[in-house]
Amino acid sequence: KRQDQQSLQLAGTVNYGDSLAWDLGVDLHEFELPPQLDPLAGQLTGSLQSRGRFDGDSWAFELSQLAVQGTVAELPATLAGVLYLNQDLDLAGTELDVQMNGARLRIQQLPVVGLPQAELIVGDLGRWLHAASGDLQAVMTWDRERGLVTIQGSSGGARWQGLQLGSLSLNGRGSLDPQLPVSLVVSGQTIQWADINLQTVTLELRGTLEQHRLHLDLKGDVASAMTLDGSLIEGKWRGQLQPMTVSSPVGGASLEKAVAVEYLEDEGLLSVAGHCWVGTRHTDLCVDRLRLGESGELSVTLEGDLAALSALLPEQYRADGHSAGLVSARWVDLELQELTAQLDIAEGVIEKALI
């Protein structure tokens, strides 16, 4: 017991040793959710029964006789139904309905076909993410026998961390069988971030677990079409970024040769082979070394016309001439350890207009 008017009571058995198993009944009375769950502050009253076991790679979890209600984030909250889940991700028999903080999650068995389906509806993302807005709907259906999962989702008027989305849609179908096809299409319209406006963004993933292709298409202030071919063979992922062009308010650039990419599992990072981008303003940017992860490093050289920098300078400044630069960085556990930058101007000028 926590207080006279608030309680959390457990009754049942727990067996542990080579494996873990439990059968517990839980009773709540005006139980206050811990402040660490903010923004889900509130009180709950009700009961549930929990059973489960863990034995190596084999496990099962059951939540039954769930009947809890109360107030969360100053809105009514209810939790009802039963949940079954095991190591095969088998949800057969699950009938769960959770309504909390203006959102609803339902897991049910579809009639006739009998496949489990989960539906999530969030009326206001701002109730779950600080300084956010917009709505979210998603539906997922899975067929354990065939190893297939399908998902559909959409969002409208979403805003978060300076990013604004007019609309967003998601359609996917996948499988854990490396021989079966996988497809995922994410499409966004009327997107704004900082001073960049995009009419459309489309991300497509197609293929199988062993051989696949990722394609990104951008239209707007920044326009480009990027294609990454990948393969997963004997647990090792390798990819190849295909030649592409990028146009933006500060100029354009072309990648004229394919670039090898590899995921180094032992180091937990993505290694990108050296490559160069040829700018439309006679400026070349070469990535000599790029290793991306919680720890990694970057080395970039820049050589060409100083005029390419004019678009990055304040309006009253103008740059002209030839320059060469070097930027290198190294970080460990997402903390920057080293950053160096050098710019050499063989001949040129940077001017500021007085009037």
Burial class (CB in 10 A: 0-12, 13-18, 19+), 117: middle
Burial 58-84 (b: 16+ CB within 10 A, else e): eebebbeebebebebbeeebbbbbbbb
d(CA 193, CA 166): 12
Rounded to an integer, what distance in angstroms lies between the CA atom of residue 337 and that of residue 297?
10
SS3 helix, strand, coil % of the chain, rounded to 5? 5, 70, 25
Q: Are 17 and 56 in contact, with CB atoms under 8 Å apart?
A: no
Q: Over the stretch 53-67, which tens digit does the pLDDT of each residue have? A: 999 889 999 999 999
Calpha distance 53→13 (Å, rounded): 12
Which pLDDT belongs to residue 353?
A: 52
Q: What per-residue confidence (pLDDT) applies to 17?
A: 85
Which token pair is 236? Answer: 């090792």
SS3 (DSSP) at 120: strand
pLDDT digits (tens, 9 = 90+) for 172-208: 998 867 788 999 999 999 999 888 999 999 999 999 9
Return the DSSP state at 125: G
Q: What's the DSSP call for residue 242?
A: P
The answer to whether residues 349 and 322 touch, using CB atoms and an 8 Å cutoff, is: no
Task: Tokens for 32, please give them.
Answer: 């206050």
Note whether 243 and 255 are within 8 A (CB).
yes
Do the strands 58-72 and 75-86 form a parallel or antiparallel pair, or are they unpaired?
Answer: antiparallel
DSSP secondary structure code for residue 282 in this structure: S
For 110, the token pair is 């579809």
pLDDT the model gives residue 1: 43
Digit-coded pLDDT (tens) for 73-82: 999 999 999 9
Taking a C-beta distance cutoff of 8 angstroms, is the pair 265, 235 a contact? yes
CB-side neighbour CA atoms (13 Å) of 314: 5
For residue 22, what are its two tokens? 């439990």
**CA distance to 6, 250, 304, 339, 349, per residue, from 345 (Å):** 72, 20, 10, 20, 9
Among 242, 288, 297, which residue's Cα sits nearest to residue 264?
297
Q: How far apart are CA 277 and CA 36, in angstroms?
A: 47
pLDDT at site 255? 95
- Taking 50 as the pLDDT cut, the residues of the chain under it are 1-3, 352, 354-355
194 phi-psi bin (left φ>0, alpha ψ -120 to 50, beta other): left
